[in-house]
Structure 1
Amino acid sequence: MALNAQKPILISGAGLSSLLLAQSLLRASIPFLIFERESSITVRAQGYRLRLSQEGLTAIESALGPEAFQKFWDKCGKTGGSGFVALDAVTGLEISEAGKDKDQGKAHDKGLKPPPNSITSRDGKVVGIARGDMRKLFISGCESFVHWSHHVTGYELTSSGVCAVFADGSKSVEGEMLVGGEGINSKVAKQLSQGKLKVYDMGARGIHGQAPTTAFKGLGEGVWRFTDESNPSGRIFVITNVRSGDMDDPNVQFGWTMGAQPGVIKPPNEDYAIIGRPAAEIAKELTANWHPRLRPLFEEMVESEAAFWKITCSTPSGVPEWQNEPRVTVIGDAVHSMTPAGGIGANTAVRDSALLGRLLAEAGGYKDSVTAAYEREMRIYASEAVRTSYGMAKMQFGVSIDENSGTL
């Protein structure tokens, strides 16, 4: 990075959207610093494999540039096969087209737009990558600008910039502007919006898991969804992606994610610090009566990689308006948390990074008009995505929230 007289752009959080924004700034030789509350990039489980839409891939490509994007693309898995297949988890039989289209039909009846990304995104393939791999690629070249174990709890405007405020009361160096990208519990988002940005706990819980490729032999290549309507407590579903190129590699694991209606999956506590066996045992118990073709995914799972997750969503009506602050804005889950329905969340987050990065690069760094221009455009596509994500989850999970529901 070329050092110059500019003060740095401060970024809170070292998640996907923050790191991709950093890549844009790196390419434009705009100074930046990242502050992350965790102690390293590997301190916790990184979650389920992400499916990338055409919009998401285009955003990542524009932020990374040709050479870095090629490395990213090479790391991505490309799944062909039979495409998307829905199975009854108990019988192992394929669900009819009418059954597969049921939720989409309901969405159409309710006037919801389908997710703005088809399941295939390039070359007729489903493109995906593990969140952990994606984060490692995005941090490449930015490592020396990341300050670990720095928990941002707010900010303080100065006469000529802004400082991040940390949990211990200390402050960062003065920056040109601050970008809040620290996820659903963002303190920057709450301060900036004066409480208008809210994240609702929808009550539904899920489990991420991984298993060796041998456990997936009964499925074959494709994107699979298993649905269990027999559980008396409510519907359970699992989604997984089986890539042909890795099927015979014993050193590769495939991931799956399980979701359910409220009350079905019950973690031992609500802080989600517990990973491993407690999550694995619940997953095995819930799938004990599933078809033999599917049970190996859970019986052979790597218990240490199992983790709980909760389904959250921002205000269903979309991203609210707040008084613009030229030196502070927010990206990713900090501004638009989404349910997993439709696979929209991460793809929308990287669009934020590409948009804000492009505006800053075009301006040559901070300008008074940048955050307003970013927020104006972001609200349009992100509000549509939040509404769609919530509407699909309401049908799939049987959840409902309103302005009086509990928030994080």
Structure 2
Amino acid sequence: MSSQQPILIAGAGLSSLLLARSLLRSHIPFQIFERDASLSFRGQGYRLRLSTEGLDAIEDVLGPDEFGRFYDICGKTGGSGFTALNAITGEQVEHKVPEKLGSRDGLTIGIARGEMRKFFLEGSEDFVQFNKNVVDYEESPNGVKVIFGDGSRSVEGSMLIIGDGLKSKVSKKLSEGKIKHYDTLVRGIHGQAPTLAFKGLEEGVYRFVDDSRGEEGNVSVITNIRSKDMDDPSIQFGWTMVGSPGLIKAPNDDYTIIGKTAADIAKSLTANWSPKLKPLFTEMVENEAAFWKITCSTPSGVPVWKNHPRITVIGDAVHSMTPAGGIGANTAVRDSALLGRLLGEAGGYREGITKEYEDKMRVYASEAVATSYGLAEKQFGIRIDEETSPTV
């Protein structure tokens, strides 16, 4: 690392950690500040599907050798689209949902969020500070410092990259409130079960849909089954459940609850499902169950705010998305690759770099948010009014 001022990064999510890997390769100093006590402090959520664009971005950052090692740990599933099943009867209701999933080698590539974060962190361990909740920043003529929840301040950095998720306070300050994340009122549950629970299904990516509740709405589940892992009892497959507004409710509206409470709700909602699907829930690993709120940033596009030459935003902090289409994480790593490349070419901070990044990011990120929102409208009945819908 050089003796120049470090680049400060708020948050240790996927986009932040991949950006750090890019800076590490370019020998640009950085410091990451993460509010959690460790990478495994909270539930990691559902398994991520990597698109062609996402894989290309990761490969650009890691380089061929490290990417080869990353690709080896990813799960690979045959098939090019979802197989949709009626959750009650277990019967296939349409041949394929018109959404192509294959990204490389004709396979669907996926990896657990926790595994991905752990891989991206490699080499940057000494530059991450945990239990550091970034709540504000202050500027100086030649740099910027972050302010933590306890009132303390960081060292001065040449730049601040805001990557601390959709609840980021500093992204709202930077954009003067223009960056917004809407609560769709749709809720979900993440869960996992041992491979034995999936024996009733063949390899592929599935969507189970339960439309039996009429006007109450529907419940759907997405899961991914890899045949080569089916006989390994140490492996668990994950699933993601989504319910129309009102169908999934956490006690006291506390969606940070994990474990049996979430598991029991998932089991109740699937009590009358097909016998070949029910084991995913009756045999689930209860302590891995977790609630989640489905949010989406402004559907009409990433807003334009007054550019700051030393501060910008990446990942969910600027463009959160619904799970429809599996686009969110792939867009986040594109941010990392783009900004990392610009910083690497410049050797660190230079005037105009944040504007160049933001101008390019807004194009692909706005398209991604619109696509994700459009799919969620059809799949989950989500509706966002940018003037009246609640924000988080």
TM-score range, shorter chain: over 0.9
Bigger drift between 147-156 and 262-271 goes to 262-271
2:123 maps to: 141
In the alignment, the residues of structure 1 paired with residue 296 and residue 79 of structure 2 have an alpha-carbon distance, to the nearest angstrom, of 33
In the alignment, the residues of structure 2 paired with residue 273 and residue 312 of structure 1 have an alpha-carbon distance, to the nearest angstrom, of 15
Is the 8 Å Cα contact of residues 144 and 158 (structure 2) preserved in structure 1? yes
2:66 maps to: 68
In the alignment, the residues of structure 1 paired with residue 136 and residue 120 of structure 2 have an alpha-carbon distance, to the nearest angstrom, of 25
* Deviation readout 1:129-180 (Å, 9 max, x if unpaired): 0001001001011111000000001111111100011111111000000000
2:156 maps to: 174
In the alignment, structure 1 residue 209 sits paired with structure 2 residue 205: no
In the alignment, structure 1 residue 79 sits paired with structure 2 residue 89: no
* 1:96 positional shift: 2.1
In the alignment, the residues of structure 2 paired with residue 96 and residue 391 of structure 1 have an alpha-carbon distance, to the nearest angstrom, of 20
In the alignment, structure 1 residue 383 sits paired with structure 2 residue 366: yes
* 1:33 positional shift: 0.2
In the alignment, the residues of structure 1 paired with residue 154 and residue 338 of structure 2 have an alpha-carbon distance, to the nearest angstrom, of 25
In the alignment, the residues of structure 2 paired with residue 224 and residue 91 of structure 1 have an alpha-carbon distance, to the nearest angstrom, of 15
Is the 8 Å Cα contact of residues 197 and 280 (structure 2) preserved in structure 1? yes
In the alignment, the residues of structure 1 paired with residue 183 and residue 211 of structure 2 have an alpha-carbon distance, to the nearest angstrom, of 23
1:260 to 243, 252, 255: 243
Is the 8 Å Cα contact of residues 79 and 102 (structure 2) preserved in structure 1? no
Is the 8 Å Cα contact of residues 296 and 320 (structure 2) preserved in structure 1? yes
In the alignment, structure 1 residue 190 sits paired with structure 2 residue 172: yes
Aligned-partner SS, 2:92: coil
In the alignment, the residues of structure 1 paired with residue 308 and residue 381 of structure 2 have an alpha-carbon distance, to the nearest angstrom, of 38
Q: How does 1:12-31 map to 2 (within 5 A)?
A: 12-31=10-29
Aligned-partner SS, 1:179: strand
2:210 to 228, 231, 241: 228
**Structure 1: which amino acid aligns with 2:195?**
T
2:31 maps to: 33
2:42 maps to: 44
In the alignment, the residues of structure 2 paired with residue 269 and residue 48 of structure 1 have an alpha-carbon distance, to the nearest angstrom, of 23
In the alignment, the residues of structure 2 paired with residue 71 and residue 371 of structure 1 have an alpha-carbon distance, to the nearest angstrom, of 31
In the alignment, the residues of structure 1 paired with residue 94 and residue 168 of structure 2 have an alpha-carbon distance, to the nearest angstrom, of 42
In the alignment, the residues of structure 2 paired with residue 71 and residue 123 of structure 1 have an alpha-carbon distance, to the nearest angstrom, of 16
* Deviation readout 1:340-369 (Å, 9 max, x if unpaired): 111110000000000000000001100011
* Deviation readout 1:360-400 (Å, 9 max, x if unpaired): 00011000111000000000000111111112112221121
Is the 8 Å Cα contact of residues 82 and 221 (structure 1) preserved in structure 2? no
In the alignment, the residues of structure 2 paired with residue 394 and residue 245 of structure 1 have an alpha-carbon distance, to the nearest angstrom, of 34
In the alignment, structure 1 residue 405 sits paired with structure 2 residue 373: no
Q: How does 1:51-130 map to 2 (within 5 A)?
A: 51-80=49-78, 84-97=82-95, 101=97, 118-130=100-112
In the alignment, the residues of structure 2 paired with residue 387 and residue 343 of structure 1 have an alpha-carbon distance, to the nearest angstrom, of 13
**Structure 2: which amino acid aligns with 1:389?**
S
* 1:82 positional shift: 7.7
1:245 to 228, 237, 240: 228
Equivalent pairs counted in the alignment come to 390
* 1:188 positional shift: 1.6
In the alignment, the residues of structure 2 paired with residue 298 and residue 244 of structure 1 have an alpha-carbon distance, to the nearest angstrom, of 20
So what's the TM-score if we normalise by structure 1?
0.94
Aligned-partner SS, 2:189: strand
In the alignment, structure 1 residue 301 sits paired with structure 2 residue 299: no
In the alignment, the residues of structure 2 paired with residue 124 and residue 82 of structure 1 have an alpha-carbon distance, to the nearest angstrom, of 7
In the alignment, the residues of structure 1 paired with residue 378 and residue 106 of structure 2 have an alpha-carbon distance, to the nearest angstrom, of 28
Is the 8 Å Cα contact of residues 79 and 108 (structure 2) preserved in structure 1? no
**Structure 1: which amino acid aligns with 2:269?**
L
* 1:71 positional shift: 1.4
So what's the TM-score if we normalise by structure 2?
0.97
Aligned-partner SS, 1:191: helix
Aligned-partner SS, 1:256: strand
In the alignment, the residues of structure 1 paired with residue 204 and residue 355 of structure 2 have an alpha-carbon distance, to the nearest angstrom, of 42
Q: How does 1:280-359 map to 2 (within 5 A)?
A: 280-359=263-342
Q: Which runs of 5+ in 2 are unaligned?
A: none
In the alignment, the residues of structure 1 paired with residue 116 and residue 90 of structure 2 have an alpha-carbon distance, to the nearest angstrom, of 33
Is the 8 Å Cα contact of residues 89 and 227 (structure 1) preserved in structure 2? yes
Aligned-partner SS, 1:208: strand
Q: Which runs of 5+ in 1 are unaligned?
A: 105-113
Aligned-partner SS, 1:312: strand
Is the 8 Å Cα contact of residues 188 and 330 (structure 1) preserved in structure 2? no
In the alignment, the residues of structure 2 paired with residue 16 and residue 313 of structure 1 have an alpha-carbon distance, to the nearest angstrom, of 18
**Structure 2: which amino acid aligns with 1:90?**
I
In the alignment, the residues of structure 2 paired with residue 83 and residue 377 of structure 1 have an alpha-carbon distance, to the nearest angstrom, of 30
In the alignment, the residues of structure 1 paired with residue 79 and residue 65 of structure 2 have an alpha-carbon distance, to the nearest angstrom, of 29
Bigger drift between 389-398 and 295-304 goes to 389-398
In the alignment, the residues of structure 2 paired with residue 145 and residue 14 of structure 1 have an alpha-carbon distance, to the nearest angstrom, of 11
1:393 to 362, 376, 379: 376
* 1:42 positional shift: 1.1
Aligned-partner SS, 1:149: coil
1:108 maps to: none
In the alignment, the residues of structure 1 paired with residue 43 and residue 343 of structure 2 have an alpha-carbon distance, to the nearest angstrom, of 32
Is the 8 Å Cα contact of residues 46 and 240 (structure 2) preserved in structure 1? yes
In the alignment, the residues of structure 1 paired with residue 247 and residue 104 of structure 2 have an alpha-carbon distance, to the nearest angstrom, of 36
Q: Percent identity?
A: 66
